[in-house]
Amino acid sequence: AQTVTQSQPEMSVQEAETVTLSCTYDTSESDYYLFWYKQPPSRQMILVIRQEAYKQQNATENRFSVNFQKAAKSFSLKISDSQLGDAAMYFCAYRSPSGNTPLVFGKGTRLSVIA
């Protein structure tokens, strides 16, 4: 079974600085999708970014980018120019190519942004 590990339960960053959240996963599959979701205090889970495993190019969405290292099974999220609104729980998730397996989540990293 696939597992997703987020080794940093909490992190903090100064406003306007850059922070990187770590995620590793375990799988024997060659094709899959990886996601970062953000859950602010309002509790709504918001999709931040998606990476297809067959794509070598790292995904980017505005201030959010990933460093996808397939061989190392690592999928880190970099947030540039951090803003107060970035404060949230961030979850890394794995989706198998099999349609019969659910999205697998890590335990999350709580990010604080310091003004």
Partner 1 sequence: KAGVTQTPRYLIKTRGQQVTLSCSPISGHRSVSWYQQTPGQGLQFLFEYFSETQRNKGNFPGRFSGRQFSNSRSEMNVSTLELGDSALYLCASSLGPTLERGTQYFGPGTRLTVL
**Which residues bind to partner 1, rule: CB under 8 A?**
31-33, 35, 37, 42-47, 50, 91, 95-97, 99-103, 105, 107-108
Nearer to partner 1, 42 or 56 (CB): 42
From the CB of 64, what's the least distance to partner 1, in Å?
16
From the CB of 114, what's the least distance to partner 1, in Å?
24
The identity of residue 43, as a single letter, is R
From the CB of 45, what's the least distance to partner 1, in Å?
4
Which residue shows structure tokens 């889970």? 45
Task: Give the integer Cα–Cα distance in Å for 56 and 69.
Answer: 9
Name every residue whose Cβ is closer than 8 Å to that of residue 75 and which is 6 or more positions away in sequence: 23, 24, 25, 34, 36, 51, 66, 67, 68, 69, 92
Task: Give the integer Cα–Cα distance in Å for 74 and 98.
Answer: 21
From the CB of 87, what's the least distance to partner 1, in Å?
18
